A and B are shown apart, each in its own frame.
Chain A
Amino acid sequence: MSPKLSSEVRLEGVGKRYGEIWAVRDVTLTILPGEFFTLLGPSGCGKTTLLRMIAGFARPDAGRILVDGEPIDAVPPWKRDVGLVFQHYALWPHLTVYENVAFGLRERRLPRAEIAEKVSAALTQVGLEGLEARRPSQLSGGQQQRVALARTLAVQPRLLLLDEPLSNLDAQLRAQMRIELARLQRDLAITTIYVTHDQSEALALSNRVAVLQSGSVVEEGTPEDIYRRPRSRFAAEFVGAANLLPVQVVELRETGVLVEAVGGVRLPVPGDPVRWRTGARALLCLRPEALRIEEATLGRETGFFATVASRVFEGDRHIYEVKVGEGTLLRVELPALGEGRIFRLGDRVRVEFSAESAVLLPQS
Chain B
Amino acid sequence: MNLPLIRRAHAPGAGTRLWDPEGVLVLALLLLLAAGILYPLLQVLSVAVAGDTGGFTLRHLVAFFRRPLFLESLLNTLATGFLAVLFGSMVGVPLAFLTVRHAFPGKAVLQTLGMLPLVIPPFVGAVAFQQILGRSGMVNLWLLETFGTTLPLMEGLTGVVLVQTLHYFPFIMVNTAAALAGVDPSLEEAAQNLGASGFRLFRRVLLPLALPGYAAGALITFIRVIDDLGTPLMLNYTKLLAPQAYLRVTTVGLTDVDGYVICVILVVLSVLALWGSKAALGLSEYAALQRSAEVEPRRLSGASALAAWLIAAALLGPALLPHVGIFLLSFSKVWSLSLLPTVYTLGNYEEILFRTTGFIWNTLRYALLAAAADVALGAAIAWLLLRGSVRGRGWLDVIATMPLAIPGVVLAVGYLRMFHGWNFPGLGEPLTATWLILVLAYAMRRLPYTVRSAYAALQQLPLALEEAAQNLGANRLRTFARVTAPLMARGLLAGGLIAFITSAVELSSTILLVPRIELGPLSYGIYVYMQSAVGRGPGAALGVVAIVLVGCGTWLAHRLAARGGAGSLFRL
Q: Which A residues form the contact surface with B (CB < 8 A)?
A: 52, 55-59, 73-84, 86, 88, 90-94, 103-104, 107-108, 151-152, 155
Contact = CB atoms under 8 A, between A and B. Distances in A.
B4 interface: no
Given A57-B467, A90-B468, A92-B465, A78 B473 contact: yes
B427 interface: no
Nearest to B487: A94
A215 to B, nearest CB: 16
A8 B452 CA distance: 46
Interface in B484-540: 486-487
Contact of A92 (B471, B478, B487): B487
Given A55-B471, A103-B469, A155-B472, A90 B464 contact: yes
Nearest to B9: A58
Interface stretch (B10-18, B223-231, B336-344, B391-399): B10-18
A108 B473 contact: yes
A82 B13 contact: no
Nearest to A56: B12
Interface of A is mostly: loop
4 closest A-B pairs by CB = A76-B13, A104-B472, A90-B464, A107-B473
Residue of A73, A74, A92 most packed against chain B (CB within 10 A):
A92
Contacts of B482: 103
Contacts of B9: 52, 57-59
B152 to A, nearest CB: 58
A252 to B, nearest CB: 50
Contacts of B473: 78-79, 81, 104, 107-108, 155
A58 B12 contact: yes
Interface of B: 9-10, 12-13, 16, 462, 464-465, 467-476, 478-479, 482-483, 486-487
13 contacts: A55-B467, A58-B9, A76-B12, A78-B470, A83-B472, A84-B467, A84-B468, A92-B468, A92-B487, A94-B487, A103-B474, A104-B473, A152-B472
A92 B9 CA distance: 22
B487 A74 contact: no
Contacts of B13: 56, 74-77
Given A90-B462, A93-B487, A77 B12 contact: yes
Contacts of B10: 59
B475 A76 contact: yes
A267 to B, nearest CB: 51
A59 B468 contact: no
Contact of A57 (B12, B472, B476, B487): B12
Nearest to A101: B472
A107 B472 contact: yes
Nearest to A49: B9
B472 A151 contact: yes
Given A88-B464, A90-B462, A107-B478, A59 B471 contact: no
Contacts of B12: 56-59, 73, 76-77
B474 A78 contact: yes
A77 B13 CA distance: 8
B565 to A, nearest CB: 12
A52 B16 CA distance: 19
